[in-house]
Amino acid sequence: MPKAKYKKSMQRRRIISVVVALLLAFALIFAIVSGIVKGVRSIKAKVHARQEYAATMQAKLDKMSLEDKVGQMILAYHPAKDDVAAQKKYQFGGYIFFAKYFNDNTPEGVVADMASFQEVSKIGMLLAVDEEGGTVNRISRFPMYRDEKFASPQEIFYGGGWDGIVADAKEKAAFLKILGLNTNLAPVVDVPYDKENYIYNRAFSTDPEEVADFAEYVTNEFKEAKVVSCLKHYPGYGNAGDTHRTVIEDTRDQQILDTRDAMPFQAGIAAGTPMIMVSHTIVDAYDAKNPASMSKAVHNVLRNTLGFDGVIITDDLEMSGVTKFVADPGKAAVQAIQAGNDMIISGKPVAQYEALLKAAKEGTISEERINESVLRILEMKKTYGLIEQKK
């Protein structure tokens, strides 16, 4: 080929190459910009939906009496008698059920009971259990409800890996829904150090990264099933003792708590957990004077550092970690709400309802503070379909 023609041919190829490269670049830029635009529109749509959603719940809140607001803040022990009448009168945020109730009942009876509680509730109730698996099973321990009790998360993972964990969470959620229950006070996402620690048998792993993955998987499955789940026990038991029995102090450094113990809670928050339970351990690094459930400092870390904007609930206020610290149940309830909890688990719901109502009327707890909590509760119930039930 003559040199002149060769040069022209090479120039044409270069021009074509440049044009193709530019076209590809423009196409890539267009795709990126389109993606950004779509992303922005999606975010705007979600923000708009959230604003409308919040406005709807705010309107509902504005119509509630102070008495009904206070009732929503209590997850009451299911009373042994007059359970429907109690709910009709006090409008508790929910009932929590223990093994005796299920042992004395039948699957059909449970379904009927749950429907009767919801029937008299102005706002859908949380109907809750601790069905963790392993050593804590309120229902599946009884063969009339399930052939075998739910295994511990450690056992499940050992036999089935992450697929097993996901399948177990799906099955638990379905199991509860069939009975008319809508809340599982699980998973346990504490990170023990070894088998000697109190929480070890209920925990998933001693590795915080594994527990973080566990928190994410379980939260996602329960969220998908529209069953409320609850991460527990913030800030994390670690190697601390049993607060069911006595006042327990955790003397570990804050750096450990903020990294090792916080990791699973951060993962669960990122996955969209609706609820976090706070323990009764006195955690010196945050507040050396008060149990975590009674500590403003602990709640500030959970809200402001971890960024949790869902419902915070106490562990059971009947536990010795509280009763040996604050003997009067009314004072314990008031202090728990002042600390920043949205709900309390109450074995003395009437006394604690009256104490909270009195505190609200006297201004010890402002109605604005109560409104903050009740709005969170309403938003959670709306998300999980409990508001629609009461239309």
Which tokens go with 80? 């042994």
Output the CA–CA distances (angstroms, integers) from residue 287 to 34, 192, 284, 290, 292, in the order listed. Answer: 50, 21, 5, 6, 8
Instruction: Name, in order, each residue with C-beta under 8 angstroms of 243's C-beta and a sequence gap of 6 or more.
Output: 279, 280, 281, 291, 315, 319, 320, 321, 322
Ordered alpha helix ranges (H), the chain: 3-62, 66-72, 83-90, 99-103, 107-119, 153-178, 208-225, 254-256, 262-271, 296-300, 320-323, 329-339, 349-362, 367-383
Q: Are 129 and 184 in contact (CB under 8 A)?
A: yes
Compute the distance between CA of residue 149 and CA of residue 136 in angstroms, rounded to an integer. Answer: 10
| CATH superfamily, domain at 66-390 | Glycoside hydrolase, family 3, N-terminal domain (3.20.20.300)
Q: Which residue bears the tokens 């109690």?
A: 86
Q: Any idea what DSSP says for residue 80?
A: S
Peptide bond into 78 cis (omega under 30): no
pLDDT at 33: 58
Output the CA–CA distances (angstroms, integers) from residue 222 to 23, 29, 227, in the order listed. Answer: 47, 39, 5
Longest C-alpha distance within the chain, in Å? 105
pLDDT at 43: 47
- Return averaged pLDDT per consecutive 10 residues of the chain, 391 residues in all: 55 65 65 57 50 79 96 97 97 98 98 98 98 98 98 98 98 98 98 97 98 98 98 98 95 96 98 98 98 98 98 98 96 98 98 98 97 98 85 51
Output the CA–CA distances (angstroms, integers) from residue 86 to 106, 112, 360, in the order listed. Answer: 22, 17, 21
Q: pTM score, two decimals?
A: 0.87
pLDDT at 388: 72
- Taking phi over 0 as left and psi of -120 to 50 as alpha, with beta for the rest, 226 belongs to left
Q: Are 184 and 238 in contact (CB under 8 A)?
A: no
User: What are the extents of the domains in the chain?
Assistant: 1-63, 66-390
pLDDT at 56: 85
pLDDT at 40: 47
pLDDT at 373: 98
Coil, helix or strand at residue 133: strand
